[in-house]
Each structure stands twice: as structure tokens, then as C-alpha cells.
Structure 1
């Protein structure tokens, strides 16, 4: 079982799940982390759930809803609506956990963090952007952002990030956290919260994935600055608190839907805060159920290869499947329509991890870490 420290105990230098390095080998097959790791089970499980929801959402909107379903029941609409209910949870919780894990690194000198946290993530973003651009050109039917010109590629590299925007955001967010680390946390979080509210209300131009970039800075910074409070919240999570937070999240979503308040100033960030509180509570309670939390935690420790590989895999599968599945008869589609998103999500993740293992086997670890990074870290 993973050792969990009390929220008052200082954590030693920990294995960092967000620092890009070739440690994403599949070494956690026993259900326990590598020795010496002090990673919290709830945080890894939360990341595992987040990456599942990310892939599921992409499967639903980019493949499942593009199929011509003629089954006479509104199941595709159900899957689309269900995915939308997790929009305030997926990336805000993902970035909050990333901020929690980045708290120690933000206190270290620039020279120790700039290579892995800033240069490392920007390197990965650039490398995989080129790969995505090439692969997505072979699947033009997939509805997703893609660069179709040199100028478009330059724009995605700089100001309007692609589907890989999480990597771009981590480098930017960590730079901001380092630059403001001596400032009172309120002076950093309040402007970030205002930016999130302004972007969510549609008051800023947000082409591509800029909206996510603007809206999630506050959650990364909250995870970084409020780490002790978040760890204490997770350590004291109870079934009663889980019931209350889940009810609050559901009621807030219902109220937003009834009133059409999604674009009201401050509403979306406020609901995302409720979602993150619920997500941390649920992950903490889940940590006591090892049969489910252990596989999710293992998945949460290998999010990088899934994140960067799943879109090209999905694009190629979409090219292979969309026409044949659309052409099936009503009875055959009736057998597929309910479970198709779950089956395809599992297939995409499985193939992504298989590709990752294959790339490592042929010594292409440079696709998952800045070259020389492991040697630099070993010399510290």
C-alpha cells in the first residue's frame, strides 16, 4: 500500500508525476509504487479518473457522435450530455492535482526546475505537436483542431495551443508560479480566478484551446498554494462529506442548466471549484477500496503516454470505424450503441500504452522526456 503522510508532515523530494521523464515505464504492475515514493494514493487515483474522462470525452465527441446511428433511441444524446456534466471536473481537478505535485519544485532554484518543468514540457509539446499534425492529416474526418499550414503550426506552437494544451499550460503555469512564489497567495489566486471568470463568460477571444489555458491557471495555483489544506481535506474525507459534495455538485449543475447560467460571470469557475472539492473527496474515499483505487492509481502514474498518444490512435481508429459502423443495420447498431464509448475508450488506452511500450523498446524514450534529463537529475 502507498504510504500516506499526514498533512502536517513535510514531504521529502518526491517522485513527481508531472515532470516529463522516461520513468513512465510500466513498472507498477504489483499495485505498489516504486520504493521511496511518497505519492498519495488518492491523488494518483484522481489523475487516473481524469485521464479516463479525458479519453472518454474525446471518444464521444470526436468519434461516437460522428457516427450515423439509426437505432430509434436517444442514446448518443445521452452520452454527449453525460460527458458535458464532467466538463467542470476533468481539467480543473487534473490541474489541481498537478499543482499539488508541483508545490515542492516551485520552491527550488530556477536552475533545478526550469529544465524539467519548463523546457521539458515545452519540448514534449513541440515534439508531439509535430507528430499529431502528421497523423491527423491522415484522418481529416476527425473533428479536432489541427494545423493545416506553416503559419497555423506556428500559431499552435505559441499562442493558440493544440489538443496537447495541457503540456503547454503546465510549462506556462509553472513559470508563473515560480515568478510569483514570494508573493502572498491571495495576490496570485485572485487575478487568476478573475481571468478564469472572464474567459468562461466569453469576455475574451479564446480560439482553439485558449479558453482552457485561461480558465485553469487558478486551479493549478490553488493546488500549489493550498496543498496542505487539500491534503488535510483528503485525509479527513468521510462518507457524509462525499454525499454532501456530490449533492452540491449535482444541484449546481442542475441549477446552471435550468437557468442557462453557464456564461454568467463567475458561475463556471464556481461550479468547477465544487467539482474539484467533490473530486478530491471521492478520490480520498476511493483510496480505501484497493480493488478499484490501485488500478486507477497505476493509471494515474502513466498519464503522460496516454495523453500524448491517444489522439493519433483515436484518429486512425475513427478512420477505420466510422463508415463501417454507420453502415450497420439497426439491430447490430442496437448492440453497440450503449457500450461503444466504453469499449472504444478501453481500446484507445490499451493501444496507447502498447505504442508507448513499443517506443521504449526501440529506444525512443526521447519522445517522452527531454534528452539528457535523467542524467541531469541523477547528478543532483
Structure 2
């Protein structure tokens, strides 16, 4: 599960643009409002692309590769390999944009940050952890982290976050951002970068999703501290820069794979930095192509329901489809093996949004925001 930037105004977003964008309220229309800058549009588009990649990866790993394919061609393995190439991009980019939009929030009083960000994200994490635990019990064959006892739930609530770790991480990262907001950037980014490198190298015990928690703090803080530079980079994106950054990303991936350097100290964070630079450049250029950027940006503004609902939806679909698809003949499987992950990803996202709309229709908005006089929106 990464977030957004700005546009026609040179550096600053309107105050509301800095609020967390896991929006739970239904919005009529997806066109850019007058107050939304182009840079906010591209950042929303980047979020939309990232949430699609997150769901696609879960579809491939947790469902597609579990099917008994007998088609005589290595298409399933190719999908798995393709998904792995986006691992350094998805969450680092998401957290970088989250950090950019945390800049204004970190300046607010502790009581505001504690409720709207820290308590808000912890509430969503705990609530949906219980929901996931209950639903995933009905799909025991889905290969995913799950709590199977009260002690397991307690562990996921505290020290070993579940598949919902992005929410857990945002609560922790906002606390850190608020606490160190006046510290020089070097005193913050260097230790966070070292932590990322240590975790990626396997030098820390990282059960469950702790690795992601350790590795992505540096990207959130980079977005927080380097916001002006990130905005300028996006505003001046060019096709030449896209060619250079995409080439650098491909070369970095190839070099890491050929050398088997995924766990060499500092290599994975360095490749992720290259990936984020490429992602920002690509999203900024994409924002100039409204036919594609507008749907992605619209999706990027409602990432919370997709993020929290898609795993239970996928679990139930996996239980429904695993045996029938595995029992299809080679000819029938050959017709669907290539497009299956794309179709199932679209179905999972569509059903997740339908569930979201249905829950809002029955006044269950408390499932997507901390209840209270001022409902905290979930952040980008």
C-alpha cells in the first residue's frame, strides 16, 4: 500500500489538500476542482497507480500463483517476476507522498495530530485488523499473515503489524514527524536511512510486516523534509528526465538481480530511491494526459476503502475460484492465464468500492474514520 503533491501555486497546497486522502466520503465526479493543482492531480494519480499495483501484487502472490496451472508455458512465473520489479517502487513512493502532505499536519498542535492522525490511524488499524481476522478465518488456504488466537491478535496490534501495516506505520510516522519536526534534516534522514538499510539487509528480526515498517520511515521523512525539492522536481518533469530515470531504474533492478545483491547493505534502499525518483517523474508527466490521469487520480483519492477491504474480498474470491480454475482443462486455462491477474484485480477493486458505498449507505462511515465531532479523514 504511497501519496500526493501540488500545482498552479508554486509551492504551497491549500490547507485541505494536506489532509489525509484515504477519503471515505463519496464524491460526485472525478474531475479536477478549481482548488486542486496539477501537482496534486499527479500525486493522486501516483496514489491510484500504487494502490492498483498493491492489489495486483496480492492477487498474483496470494491467488494466481496458488492455482494449479497446466498450460505448458511459464506465464504465471512471468507475472510473479513482473510484480517483483515494482516492490522497490510501490510503498516507498506511497510513503514519500504521504510525507510531503504530512508537512503541514506536523506543524499543528499535538492534540490535533494525536487525534486526527495518530489516534485516527490506530483506530482504523485495530478495527480492520479484527475484521480481517474474522473474514480470513473463512479462507484458510489464502497464503497471508493472519492471527489465529487472541495472543496472535494482540501481537499484531502491538509489535508485529498485519497486512494493514500501512495504517500502523502512518500512526507511528506521524508521531515521529511531530516529535522531530525542528531537527536538522541530516540528523533525521541519516539514521532513518541506516535503519532502512539494516532491515533490508536482514540484520534485524523482522517477522510479519516489521521489515516494511523499518524500511519505509526514511521515505516518509524524506517527503516531509524535502517537500519543496520534490515539488520542483515534479513541476519541471520532462520526457528526457523520464527516459533517464526509467533507464536508471531498469539498470538498478538488473544489476541488483544479476549480483544477487538484494540483501547487500544499502542496496535495496538505494534502488528504492531511484524507483521513487522515477515514479514522481512518471506521475508528473502522466498528469498532463488527462484521459488516463483523471481516472487514476480519482482512484487515488479513495485509497482507504480499497486498502482495507480488498484483502477480505480477495480471500473470499480465492476460496470461490481456486478449485474451479485449477480444474479447467489446458485449453480453457490457456484462454485466461495471461489476463487473469488483470481481470481479478479489477474485480477486487470494483467490489471493494462497492462494499464501501454500501457501508456508507447504511451509515457505517465509522468503519472508515474515527468517530467524533470532527471526523478524522485518513491520510494519504
TM-score by length of 1: 0.95
**Distance (Å, rounded) in 1 between the aligned partners of 2:376 and 2:93:** 30
Q: 1:376 to 1:218 in 2, by over 3 A?
A: closer
How far 1:37 sits from its partner (Å)? Answer: 4.4
**Distance (Å, rounded) in 1 between the aligned partners of 2:286 and 2:349:** 22
Which of 13, 16, 37 pairs up with 2:15? 13
Secondary structure in 1 matching 2:213: helix
**Distance (Å, rounded) in 2 between the aligned partners of 1:53 and 1:17:** 23
Secondary structure in 2 matching 1:88: coil
Counterpart position of 1:119: 119
Secondary structure in 2 matching 1:309: helix
How far 1:376 sits from its partner (Å)? Answer: 8.0
Matching of residues 250-265 of structure 1 within 5 Å: 250-265=250-265
Secondary structure in 2 matching 1:40: helix
How far 1:259 sits from its partner (Å)? Answer: 0.5
Matching of residues 193-232 of structure 1 within 5 Å: 193-232=193-232
Secondary structure in 1 matching 2:132: helix
**Distance (Å, rounded) in 2 between the aligned partners of 1:349 and 1:139:** 19
The CA deviation string for residues 120-168 of structure 1, in whole angstroms up to 9 with x for no partner, is 0000000000000000000000000000011110000001000000000
Gapped regions of structure 2 (runs ≥ 5): none
How far 1:185 sits from its partner (Å)? Answer: 1.1
User: Residue 24 of structure 1 contacts residue 301 of structure 1 at CA under 8 Å; is this kept in 2?
Assistant: no
TM-score by length of 2: 0.95
Secondary structure in 1 matching 2:242: helix
Counterpart position of 1:330: 330
Secondary structure in 2 matching 1:371: coil
**Distance (Å, rounded) in 1 between the aligned partners of 2:83 and 2:12:** 38
Counterpart position of 2:274: 274
Counterpart position of 1:361: 361
Matching of residues 87-236 of structure 1 within 5 Å: 87-236=87-236
User: Residue 160 of structure 2 contacts residue 209 of structure 2 at CA under 8 Å; is this kept in 1?
Assistant: yes
How far 1:3 sits from its partner (Å)? Answer: 7.7
Gapped regions of structure 1 (runs ≥ 5): none
**Distance (Å, rounded) in 1 between the aligned partners of 2:64 and 2:288:** 34
Q: How many residues align?
A: 372
How far 1:28 sits from its partner (Å)? Answer: 4.6
User: Residue 6 of structure 2 contacts residue 12 of structure 2 at CA under 8 Å; is this kept in 1?
Assistant: no
User: Residue 6 of structure 1 contacts residue 235 of structure 1 at CA under 8 Å; is this kept in 2?
Assistant: no
**Distance (Å, rounded) in 2 between the aligned partners of 1:64 and 1:108:** 45
Q: 1:373 to 1:45 in 2, by over 3 A?
A: farther
How far 1:375 sits from its partner (Å)? Answer: 5.8
**Distance (Å, rounded) in 1 between the aligned partners of 2:28 and 2:273:** 31
